[in-house]
Structure 1
Amino acid sequence: MEQVHELESAIMERANRLAVEYRERAGRSRDNILQEAHARLHLREEREVLLAKSRAERTFRRQVQAHELKLQKEMDHLRWNLVMTVKNQLRERIRLLVKDEKRYLPLLQSLMTSAASDFHRPRLVASFNARDLGLVQPKWAEFAGAASKDKEIILNPTPIDCIGGVIISSEDGRVRFDNTFEGREERLTDRLNQLILERLFPAGTLQDNLGGMR
């Protein structure tokens, strides 16, 4: 009987030790599981934060690019308006110039000389607007002779529409050189626009201002 009690005590003690061992093992497993879960949660949070930052940066870059494109468009519009304003003021200066006969007639003669020099034909035709035609017609022989020594230039009695200047053409009208102010402006439009921009915005002022706003 005593042996039975000893056996039961031994079994109970063993069971208790196993229970404590399994409880400790379960506690360690629980802690490991909690740590792994916490680590996975932390990694997930980090990924979500990084993903959110990436999305925010992409959105910010798109907004900045859209703003820069809008600003560049406004700058281009401003530049074009300023160029057109200067060119309109230039035309007004030319209109004032053509009213000053002492300054304008030598210039008109020079325009005719330079246009006639590009022709290799002995007889040419000169066309003027109505006002200039009235100025040169009374003294045409002298005016044309001083403009070109080696060519005969005939005066076209039909006026043309322009601010000032002259159109020199062959007798048959097939070849012509437009040396009116409008014709010269059209030929020089790219260089004129560039020159105006260089004077208005020296050394890339617009680009510097745009870069400073980023």
Structure 2
Amino acid sequence: MNQVEALEQAILDRAKEMAAECKLRAEHGRANILREASDRLQLREEKETLLAKAQAERAYRRRVQADELKLQSRMDHLRWNLVQTVLQRIPERIQALRQEEPLYLELMGRLLARGAAMIEHDELIVEVNEEDHRLLQPIWETFSHNATADKQLRLASEPIRIQGGLRLHTPNNRIRLDQSFEGRLERLQRKIYQVIEENLLPQTSSGLRP
């Protein structure tokens, strides 16, 4: 082989080497591009998945909160209806209790004794409704003495409009105490709600209460 042929062969060999290097680099570059594209695609899919999960969780929480508010509203309504039912039945219970006169007088005596003890005054005026006025007036001296012997209790001459029980006040009307059934019920209304809630309304699994 002459020098010209040797040079041509060297050039061809070098060209083949360069072509092989370029091909290898191109393959590496293609692989890198595909890998980077795959990584970006996976990252995008992960972001979209996380975003979808977050949106689903927010939607679920909103739905749960809305359901809890609806449940709370229904249970509040139920509790209110139960309390009203209890309050509406009380006059019937009072009338039934009046039919058992000894028990009714015992109840009135306790209300009178407790009310008189709460007012620091030696003389008190006691007000009752018309029906109780007719019942108590003939026996007032004995009845009031049994309730409290250390105070002068005077039955008001005119009845008042209450369901039952009594009201007390000093002669100058500066101190008053409401021992009527309505007054006591108003003071006990919160306790009535609590009793109904504890005994008639079931607890929910989430711990919600009406």
Q: RMSD of aligned C-alpha atoms?
A: 2.6
Q: Distance in 1 between matches of 2:60 and 2:10?
A: 73
Go from structure 1 to structure 2 and tell me whether the alpha carbon gap of 1:185 and 1:211 turns closer, same or farther (over 3 Å shift). closer
Look up the SS of the partner of 2:174 in the other structure.
Answer: coil
**What TM-score do the two structures reach when normalised by structure 1?**
0.82
Look up the SS of the partner of 1:89 in the other structure.
Answer: helix
Name the counterpart of 1:154. 154
Go from structure 1 to structure 2 and tell me whether the alpha carbon gap of 1:18 and 1:42 turns closer, same or farther (over 3 Å shift). same
Deviation (angstroms), 1:151:
2.5
Amino acid across the alignment from 1:158: E
Deviation (angstroms), 1:164:
0.7
Structure with more contact order per residue of length (Cα contacts < 8 Å, sep ≥ 6): 2
Amino acid across the alignment from 2:40: R
Deviation (angstroms), 1:125:
1.0
Go from structure 1 to structure 2 and tell me whether the alpha carbon gap of 1:43 and 1:199 turns closer, same or farther (over 3 Å shift). closer
Give 1:60-209 correspondences, 5 Å limit.
60-201=60-201, 205-208=202-205
Gaps spanning 5+ residues in structure 1: where?
none
Query: Is the contact made by 1:86 and 1:196 (CA closer than 8 Å) also made in structure 2?
Result: no
Deviation (angstroms), 1:211:
5.1
Query: Is the contact made by 2:79 and 2:196 (CA closer than 8 Å) also made in structure 1?
Result: no
Percent pairwise identity: 46
Look up the SS of the partner of 1:188 in the other structure.
Answer: helix
Deviation (angstroms), 1:172:
1.2
Q: Distance in 2 between matches of 1:97 and 1:133?
A: 16
Higher mean alpha-carbon deviation, 40-49 vs 13-22, is at: 13-22
Go from structure 1 to structure 2 and tell me whether the alpha carbon gap of 1:162 and 1:25 turns closer, same or farther (over 3 Å shift). same
Gaps spanning 5+ residues in structure 2: where?
none
Q: Distance in 2 between matches of 1:31 and 1:19?
A: 18
Q: Distance in 2 between matches of 1:17 and 1:144?
A: 127
Q: Distance in 1 between matches of 2:43 and 2:204?
A: 44
Look up the SS of the partner of 2:173 in the other structure.
Answer: coil
Higher mean alpha-carbon deviation, 128-137 vs 95-104, is at: 95-104
Deviation (angstroms), 1:158:
1.8
Query: Is the contact made by 2:122 and 2:151 (CA closer than 8 Å) also made in structure 1?
Result: yes
Deviations 1:13-46 (A, max 9, x none): 3223322331232122212221222122222222
Q: Distance in 1 between matches of 2:90 and 2:131?
A: 20
Amino acid across the alignment from 1:113: A
Name the counterpart of 1:44. 44
Q: Distance in 1 between matches of 2:50 and 2:118?
A: 72
Deviations 1:35-90 (A, max 9, x none): 22212222222222122222222322232233223323322332232233223223
Query: Is the contact made by 1:75 and 1:206 (CA closer than 8 Å) also made in structure 2?
Result: no
**What TM-score do the two structures reach when normalised by structure 2?**
0.83
Deviation (angstroms), 1:129:
0.7
Look up the SS of the partner of 1:154 in the other structure.
Answer: strand
